[in-house]
Chain A
Amino acid sequence: MDPERPDQKETKQLTGDEKPSAGLISKVRESGAALKERAVEEAKTYKDPQDTQLWKSIFRVSHDRSDPRNRSLAVLSNVFLHLHPAKINRDAVRYAFTWGMGGITFYLFIVLTFTGVLLMFYYHPTKADAFRDILYLEHDVPFGKLLRNMHRWAAHLMVITTWLHMFRVVLTGSYKRPREFNWCVGVVLLVLTLLLSFTGYLLPDDQLGFWAVTVGTNMARATPMLGSEGPFGVQLGMTPFNDVRFGLLGGSIVDANALLRSYIWHCIGIPLVASIFMAVHFWRIRKDGGISGPAPMVLESEMKAIKKK
């Protein structure tokens, strides 16, 4: 049978000289048209990115507005948004109530992390290089000046927004039960914010930072019992070479070790601790029942005389 088949094929091909070639072209054309049709068909489905496998693998939820359930799912199934509840009090979105200061503080922390990491590419925490690196940043690095300015001003702004956030929380009584503990976490975050800003102050290694840190750490010398010049410090064997200031500076003067310690606290130590406290702070907001208000008001006449345990 085997030798016959090729013969048959050959004869078919041979018998009609033009017909087979025309068949091939039309076949190719046909399959081409089919392919085109399929491609067009498929392209139509790509027109809506939300229908693609790629989109669905990332977002998992359709943003179809006709189904309100999707709005909840959009929040609940997103790792960045799941910090929010699906729904909130309708008056809580008024700017006048929260002033948005807590959120802005967090955003500034992100901005500072971003600009800070970029700055780290150009900075060496050594006495020989630190100051020169700042000059290099300001004069040679593309957008280096903008980068440094932004990091500086965002840091100042973060201190301001933290204070205003605390002020708002007091004015609305939001620290009250059940949010007492989260207020304490907030106080720690406030202190960490100030320390973050302060440790960054020395890094340019200029007169401004040097003297500010000298003034600041001189106070540590006076720590009761732990400082060489503090009350009961001498009695407990404190000297300028073993007291708490020595531990902060890595020496008895503000020098190379102080620069390195400042740098490590600023870039790694405090941000790490602050991130943990932030995670707790945000998590507790949800666990304590979300944003505090605007809550329905309670009247004086409704206040019970004796505190409920």
Chain B
Amino acid sequence: MARFSLSKGRLITLGVVIALVVLAVLTVHDWHQLWKISSAPDNVPIVAMLFLVPFFTWLGIKQARANDRLVEELEKDPKLAKTHHRKAEPWRPGWARDIHVWPYLVRIEFLAAVIVTVILFVWSITLNAPLEEPANPNLTMNPSKAPWYFLGLQEMLVYFDPWIAGVVMPSLIMVGLMVFPYVDSNPLGNGYYTIKQRRVALWMFCAGFLQWILLIVIGTFIRGPGWIWFWPGQTWDHNAVVYDRNRDLHDIVADMIGFTQLSSSWVLKMIFGAIVVGLFFVVGALFFHWLLTRGGLDRMDRSLPFWKRVWLWMKTPDPFEQKLLARTSLLQYATFQFFAITVLLAMPVKLILRLVFTIKYVWVTPWFNV
């Protein structure tokens, strides 16, 4: 195992992290508010997730790296590949490949059950489940938040109309998860940790998972009364009013090019929106097609400076990823594109359109708005 050393890159990363932490601490005006949100009993799970997700990601990456190193070694040495047991775990000839479930697995399960029980007891003794005033339809809670695991959907309401955020998106996420194994045509990496052999699949899933967690974090820590954006550490002001400057895309375009009919005629609005959404799908499809054929940045010439390496990476298709693409059927490809664009890309694009460019709808029709 390589021993930990402070290389230049690591020092820079460390410096940036420290600078960010210091900056975050300096910008906190109201520690009490921050503590109130983080220590709310029902928010404990999401605070725990902030630590658990990075920990388990690290644990997975650590094993994937060990496996990837071994794969590289075996690729170079076909003779060794023939005799090697093909795992990063230690192995000696003569060792049994299988072990008895009783007691070697059953004892682990028993221990896990005991540990979980102890954790639950300690958690339940030290922290009480929340109980507010009796339900009162005449007194609206402000902010009234969904349970933490659904806060992602509630936060999505800011960017989409309820029929998309509350019904279509959750259904798409569910179906998208279900088709995941059927569109992944890569036969490698079945039953072991690896990054290099399954780059695209991993990035796609992690992008979705992180988006989901990020939306929950925004919903938990940032959204205050009136669902207004309060930075962590900012006091929740119940009288705060935000002047809503959000406009529809067709209005902005109509003003820009001086074509006023675009903001008055519903037919024109509808056609304009359809074209914009259509364009989004085309650009999205091109983007994902491009992404599908990129390999790892580490496969580029390491002697080049970083930005040149990135440029080279952007330009060169990876032979291995191309091989994978050739195995993908048209149906698999189209299904992947559909879910990638509608779930993975539409969400962040709409978020940026709304928060940065203050655009409300891109497609307005008499029946629905997107």
Question: A-side interface residues toward B, CB under 8 Å?
Answer: 68, 71-72, 74-75, 81, 84-97, 99-100, 103-104, 107-108, 111, 131, 134-135, 138, 145-146, 148-154, 156-157, 159-160, 163-164, 167-168, 170-177, 179-180, 183-184, 187, 190-191, 194, 197-198, 201, 204-212, 214-216, 218-224, 227, 229-232, 235, 253-254, 292-301, 303-307
Contact at B150–A194, with CB atoms within 8 Å? yes
Contact at A173–B121, with CB atoms within 8 Å? no
Q: Assuming A157-B120, A300-B188, is B112 touching A100 (CB within 8 A)?
A: yes
| Interface locus among B15-23, B25-33, B173-181, B237-245 | B173-181
24 A–B contacts, CB within 8 A, in A order: A72-B100, A72-B102, A81-B101, A81-B102, A88-B99, A89-B97, A96-B63, A97-B63, A151-B129, A153-B124, A167-B60, A171-B193, A197-B149, A198-B147, A210-B137, A212-B147, A219-B166, A222-B167, A229-B162, A231-B368, A254-B137, A293-B191, A299-B75, A305-B327
Please name all residues of chain B whose beta carbon is closer than 8 Å to the beta carbon of A159 when the two chains form the complex.
45, 149
Give the contacting residue for B113; candidates A107, A152, A183, A253; CB below 8 A. A107
Please name all residues of chain B whose beta carbon is closer than 8 Å to the beta carbon of A104 when the two chains form the complex.
112, 116
A87 closest partner in B (C-beta) = B98
Please name all residues of chain B whose beta carbon is closer than 8 Å to the beta carbon of A90 when the two chains form the complex.
95-99
With an 8 A cutoff between CB atoms, is B362 at the interface? Answer: no
Question: B-side interface residues toward A, CB under 8 Å?
Answer: 42, 44-45, 48-49, 52-53, 56, 59-60, 63-64, 67, 70-71, 74-75, 78, 81, 85-87, 89, 95-106, 108-109, 112-113, 116-117, 119-121, 123-125, 127-137, 139-141, 144-150, 153-154, 157, 161-163, 165-168, 174, 177-178, 180-182, 184-194, 197-198, 201-202, 205, 209, 320, 323, 326-327, 329, 367-368
Please name all residues of chain A whose beta carbon is closer than 8 Å to the beta carbon of B368 when the two chains form the complex.
224, 231
Give the contacting residue for B112; candidates A81, A103, A111, A292; CB below 8 A. A103
CA distance A190 to B323 in the complex (A): 33
Cβ distance A12 to chain B, nearest Cβ, rounded Å:
66
Contact at A208–B141, with CB atoms within 8 Å? yes
| Prevailing SS type, chain A contact patch | helix
CA distance A230 to B166 in the complex (A): 11
Please name all residues of chain B whose beta carbon is closer than 8 Å to the beta carbon of A307 when the two chains form the complex.
185, 187, 327, 329
CA distance A6 to B313 in the complex (A): 119
Please name all residues of chain B whose beta carbon is closer than 8 Å to the beta carbon of A170 when the two chains form the complex.
180, 201-202, 205
B85 closest partner in A (C-beta) = A296
Cβ distance B366 to chain A, nearest Cβ, rounded Å:
10
CA distance A6 to B83 in the complex (A): 96
| Prevailing SS type, chain B contact patch | helix
Q: Assuming A131-B135, A219-B162, A220-B167, is B320 touching A300 (CB within 8 A)?
A: yes
CA distance A154 to B117 in the complex (A): 9
Contact at A209–B188, with CB atoms within 8 Å? no
Q: Count chain A CB atoms within 10 A of each CB in B120, B137, B329 and give the residue with the most.
A: B120
Contact at A91–B133, with CB atoms within 8 Å? no
Cβ distance A178 to chain B, nearest Cβ, rounded Å:
10
Q: Count chain B CB atoms within 10 A of each CB in A135, A207, A294 and give the residue with the most.
A: A207
CA distance A146 to B201 in the complex (A): 43
